[in-house]
Amino acid sequence: MGRPPCCDSIGVKKGPWTPEEDIILVSYIQQHGPGNWRSVPTSTGLLRCSKSCRLRWTNYLRPGIKRGNFTEQEDKMIIHLQALLGNRWAAIASYLPQRTDNDIKNYWNTHLKKRLHNYRSNSDQENHHHQQGASTSSSSSETITIAKGQWERKLQTDINMAKQALSEALSLDTKPTTSWQQPPYTSPTAPIDHQPELLPPPPGIFNPSSYALSSENIARLLPNWLKNSGKSSQTSSESIGTFNQQFPSPTSEGFKNNGNSEVSETTSLFQGESKPNIGEYQIPSLSFLEKCLFDDAAQGDEGFMDMSLEESDSLF
DNA sequence: AAGCTGCTCAACCGCATGGAC
DNA sequence: CGTCCATGCGGTTGAGCAGCT
């Protein structure tokens, strides 16, 4: 007999979240900060279990989350990190700012795994043909030596690629392009050259099935919602300014503390500490990444050996 | 137009982990 | 040291959707 489900209690709601629930949750977190999830349902009156609240926040509502449209760079990073770390999605997510572990996991399972499988079955066929056509004079040890040399060069390329990817990710700080900055609801009549006004979803527009997709980040709604609901005496710009302070830019927020301690990271954001400096986070350093790569190389990690950068390049 | 099939992804479930007592 | 509890993590599920027949 395992532990009973945490959501066994009667009256706990399951299934898709509504905008109202999201607003309640974001509003609560804005005031109290993430963490202490146990108390969230009782404090907010949400008919959700604490786990569900935490998941909703970390996978969807948390500021700085980028959704969909994985870039090639990200694809490659995921492929390499998966080969290196296995299915440790939280660890992989720590190297990919703005992506959640759940998102990466889904993307891997639905896209990359399939692509990789297709590629490998193709290359297996090619190898089979090459082996059949190749002269039998070359010894297997010779082949291994050559392959090892080639692999070392590939490894260096991989490290350079990882460095480039990370530096590009870090440089996003100055050029944010994340989707969360797109307003989830904009006035149809808003001039294009104006900052679109944030609007709450029109009454009756809610469609449970499309809500999660159409609303990039409910957090963007909150300042306006607070103003409209009279819960905040701040002006719109003030509240947005405050809000932006509390929800800093995606990339400065994006790196998790060692990939498994988002609470400590996000809590600090909400407790009025100085605006996070990217250097303050315990970002897994490149030297660490390199070390892992070399360690794996020394141990002959087959997963990683199987998938070099050049191979992953040819996937795209 | 209706039914079927496969895909996507938000959300759930259960186990693992670590801290408090 | 053992137990309890809160939280984190990874695997899995299922509703909704798109494309095909």
C9 closest protein residue (CA to C1'): A90
Domain ranges of chain A: 1-61+178-248, 72-115+141-175+285-313
| Strand B proximal to A14 Cβ, under 7 A | yes
The nucleotides of chain C lying under 7 Å from a protein CB are 5-12, 15-17
Report percent pLDDT > 70 for chain A: 34
Statement: residue A27 has pLDDT above 60: yes
Closest CA to A263 of A40, A22, A81: A40
Highest-confidence range of A189-198, A221-230, A249-258, by mean pLDDT?
A: A221-230
Summarize pLDDT for A67-80 with one digit per residue, the tens: 777 888 888 888 88
CA–C1' span, A95 to B6, in Å?
Answer: 31
Q: Which of A25-29, A222-226, A242-246, A308-312 has the lowest mean pLDDT?
A: A242-246
Q: Which pLDDT score, from 0 to 100, does residue A314 have?
A: 63
Q: Which pLDDT score, from 0 to 100, does residue A68 have?
A: 76
Q: What is the distance between the alpha carbons of residues A245 and A279, in angstroms, rounded to a whole number? A: 18
Q: Which pLDDT score, from 0 to 100, does residue A202 have?
A: 40
| Strand B proximal to A103 Cβ, under 7 A | yes
Q: What is the mean pLDDT of chain A?
A: 59
Q: Which pLDDT score, from 0 to 100, does residue A125 have?
A: 66
Q: Which pLDDT score, from 0 to 100, does residue A124 have?
A: 67
Q: What is the distance between the alpha carbons of residues A67 and A179, in angstroms, rounded to a whole number? A: 7
Summarize pLDDT for A118-163 with one digit per residue, the tens: 776 676 666 666 665 544 434 443 333 334 444 445 544 554 555 5
Q: Which pLDDT score, from 0 to 100, does residue A109 have?
A: 86
Place of tokens 């004079």: A137
Q: Which pLDDT score, from 0 to 100, does residue A285 have?
A: 47
| Strand B proximal to A110 Cβ, under 7 A | yes
- The mean pLDDT value for A47-69 works out to 85
Name the CA radius of gyration of chain A, rounded.
23
CA–C1' span, A112 to C4, in Å?
Answer: 41
Q: Which pLDDT score, from 0 to 100, does residue A29 have?
A: 87
C8 closest protein residue (CA to C1'): A260
In sequence order, the β-bridge partners of residue A198 are: A186
**What is the number of other CB atoms lying within 10 angstroms of the CB of residue A175?**
8
Q: What is the distance between the alpha carbons of residues A46 and A40, in angstroms, rounded to a whole number? A: 8
Statement: residue A309 has pLDDT above 60: no
Statement: residue A295 has pLDDT above 60: no
Nucleic chain B contacts, protein chain A, residues 51-80, CB cut-off 7 A: 51-52, 55-56, 59-60, 67-68
| Strand B proximal to A213 Cβ, under 7 A | yes
- The mean pLDDT value for A78-92 works out to 86
